């Protein structure tokens, strides 16, 4: 009888078909998460006209969805650490897909806002849990890259929303692009069948057979005997999982992550909601302004993939601090009109340094905390971040309503980037390295697993 160290097996595995399938499902889910989030920014100029909304009212409508996301991120994240990530992923997909579709049938701002709130609960919950699941099963040397590739799905979905807006809204109306959000409901049975449950939950519930089945896919070269036992994983000592985020000298790091999430999501959702409108105020037509939204998401994809590779090599903190700072500079320069190509380049840099940085910092947090509070850490950080996300659209609407010079609007969104850079610079980097070590396992079992892998 051997004691099986699941963490060691997964960490030392090589990327294979199992990882590719998990990455593909995660990417697809996050794609629709991004689509459902950005779709409001695509239609807001038309809703302002059709429903005779003020800028402040339109910003408030966006914030109702983000308010739901705050609740979803915190409570669904904590729930996933208790009842398993797979079930909560399914619940989140149902919520955000169903209620986003219903937004396309809303005929007044009140009903629309209610639907956005309930969709937001699912949208807030899905990303932290998907990231935690990807981190659970990714090889150690590829964790940041795998998570970042999956999170690029957010930007692909964010590009898809304005692209469909340009193509189908003139023919079928703004309602039509909300109906596209129902596709994940059709895929849900397949999603539930092929997504694995987290290793932590399987070990906690004693589901040895399922755990061994998954481990054989993770590392096909290893074999198990029916008498082999899984090594136990530490559980949260408190019935309130959030308390674990402050234990073992994690308090400063936790608070700094919260500040960084808050600041970055203020920029992300402020820009996703108001960039087309801001560019229209600067003299561009609607289609051109939607083009800037596409450039924002395109920059996020390129920036995420490049920086994620560097993060796996040099460390996330060293890459993230300058990213946040460069975003602040790019947003400030956007307020000054210039060559169109330069403006597109600045928008792309802003996308890399806001959405891209948010993708990477989530990968960083997912590796920073131990597995048994990983979903909680991501969920609470994202929930705190959603407060900034709610403030972003409101801030943009307020600034537009008082008709400030366009430069000041962009500077207002640049300041949080500097705050995020400062906060992240204060995170003790050594804690991340500590939590990536399998300290909860004895060295004898680790050597035994390595010997099996070698054979």
Domain ranges of the chain: 10-234, 236-436
With vertex at residue 365, the alpha carbon angle to CA 14 and CA 147, rounded to the nearest 5 degrees, is 40
Return the CATH class of domain 236-436: mainly alpha
Which residue ranges in the chain fall short of pLDDT 70? Answer: 1-2, 231-241, 282-290, 337-338, 430-455
Residue 451 in contact with residue 371, Cβ under 8 Å? no
Q: Are 272 and 158 in contact (CB under 8 A)?
A: yes
Q: What are phi and psi of 378, to 5 degrees?
A: -70, -40
- What is the pTM (predicted TM-score) of this model? 0.74
Give the per-residue pLDDT at 154: 81
Residue 245 near residue 377, CB atoms below 8 Å: yes
**CA gap 147, 131 in Å, rounded:** 6
The pLDDT of residue 439 is: 39
Q: What whole-number distance in Å separates Cα of residue 113 and Cα of residue 64?
A: 6
* H-helix or E-strand spanning residue 117: helix 109-137
- Stated length of the chain: 455
Q: Cα 438–444–448 angle (5° rounding)?
A: 95
SS3 27: helix
| pLDDT at position 288 | 64
Do residues 91 and 192 make contact, with C-beta atoms less than 8 angstroms apart? no
Could you give the CA distance from residue 154 to residue 38 in angstroms, rounded to a whole number? Answer: 9
Among 186, 161, 286, 233, which Cα is nearest to 3's?
233
> What kind of fold does domain 10-234 have according to CATH?
Growth Hormone; Chain: A; (1.20.1250)
Instruction: Give the pLDDT of residue 442.
Output: 41
Could you read off the pLDDT of 52-97 as tens digits, one per residue? 988 778 878 877 887 888 888 888 888 887 888 899 999 999 999 9
Evaluate whether 293 touches 38 at the Cβ level (below 8 Å).
Answer: yes
Q: For residue 248, list its beta bridge partners.
A: none
Q: Is 226 helix (H, G, I), strand (E, B) or coil?
A: coil
- Assess contact for 414 and 331: CB atoms under 8 A: yes
The Cα–Cα gap between 163 and 157 comes to 10
Q: Exposure of 434 by Cβ count < 10 A (0-12 exposed, 13-18 middle, 19+ buried)?
A: middle
- For the chain, report the end-to-end CA distance as a whole number of angstroms: 17
Note the pLDDT of residue 105.
92
Residue 94's contacts (CB-CB under 8 Å, 6 or more residues apart) are 122, 185, 188
- Do the domains 236-436 and 10-234 match in fold? yes
Are the beta carbons of 31 and 153 closer than 8 angstroms?
yes
Angle at the Cα of 371 (from 234 to 81), degrees rounded to 5? 90
The SS3 assignment for 198 reads coil
- Which two tokens mark 416? 């949080």
């Amino acid at each position: 009888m051997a004691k099986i160290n699941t963490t060691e097996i997964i960490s030392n595995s090589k990327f294979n078909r199992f990882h590719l399938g998990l990455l593909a499902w995660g990417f697809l889910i996050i794609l629709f998460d991004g689509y459902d989030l950005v779709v409001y920014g695509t239609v807001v100029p038309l809703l302002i006209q059709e429903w005779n909304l003020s800028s402040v009212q339109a910003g408030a409508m966006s914030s109702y969805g983000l308010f739901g996301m705050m609740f979803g991120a915190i409570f669904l994240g904590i729930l996933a650490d208790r009842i398993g990530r797979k079930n909560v992923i399914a619940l989140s997909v149902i919520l955000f897909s169903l209620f986003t579709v219903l937004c396309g049938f809303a005929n007044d701002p009140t009903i629309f806002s209610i639907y956005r709130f309930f969709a937001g609960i699912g949208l807030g919950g899905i990303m932290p849990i998907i990231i935690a699941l990807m981190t659970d099963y990714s090889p150690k040397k590829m964790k940041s890259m795998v998570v970042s590739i999956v999170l690029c799905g957010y930007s692909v979905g964010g590009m898809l929303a304005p692209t469909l807006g340009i193509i189908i809204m003139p023919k079928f109306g703004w309602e039509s692009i909300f109906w596209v959000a129902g596709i994940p409901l059709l895929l849900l049975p397949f999603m539930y069948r092929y997504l694995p449950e987290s290793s932590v939950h399987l070990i906690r519930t004693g589901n040895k057979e399922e755990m061994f089945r998954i481990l054989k896919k993770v590392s096909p070269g290893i074999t198990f005997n029916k008498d082999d036992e899984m090594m136990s994983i530490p559980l949260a000592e408190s019935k309130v999982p959030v308390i674990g985020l402050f234990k073992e000298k994690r308090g400063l790091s936790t608070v700094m992550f919260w500040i960084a999430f808050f600041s970055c999501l203020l920029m992300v959702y402020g820009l996703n909601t108001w960039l087309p409108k801001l560019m229209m105020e600067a003299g561009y037509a609607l289609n051109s302004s939607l083009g800037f939204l596409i450039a924002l998401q395109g920059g996020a994809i390129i920036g995420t993939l490049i920086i994620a590779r560097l993060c796996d090599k040099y460390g996330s903190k060293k890459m993230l601090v300058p990213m946040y700072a460069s975003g602040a500079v790019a947003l400030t320069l956007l307020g000054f009109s210039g060559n169109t190509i330069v403006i597109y380049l600045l928008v792309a840099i802003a996308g890399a340094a806001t959405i891209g940085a948010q993708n990477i910092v989530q990968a960083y947090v997912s590796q920073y905390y131990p597995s048994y509070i990983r979903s909680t850490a991501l969920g609470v950080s994202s929930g705190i971040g959603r407060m900034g996300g709610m403030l972003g659209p409101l801030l943009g609407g307020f600034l537009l309503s008082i008709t400030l010079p366009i430069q000041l609007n962009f500077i207002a969104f640049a300041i949080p980037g500097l705050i995020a850079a400062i906060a992240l610079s204060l995170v003790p980097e050594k804690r991340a390295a500590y939590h990536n070590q399998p300290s909860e396992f004895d060295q004898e079992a680790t050597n035994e697993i390595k010997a099996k892998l070698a054979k």
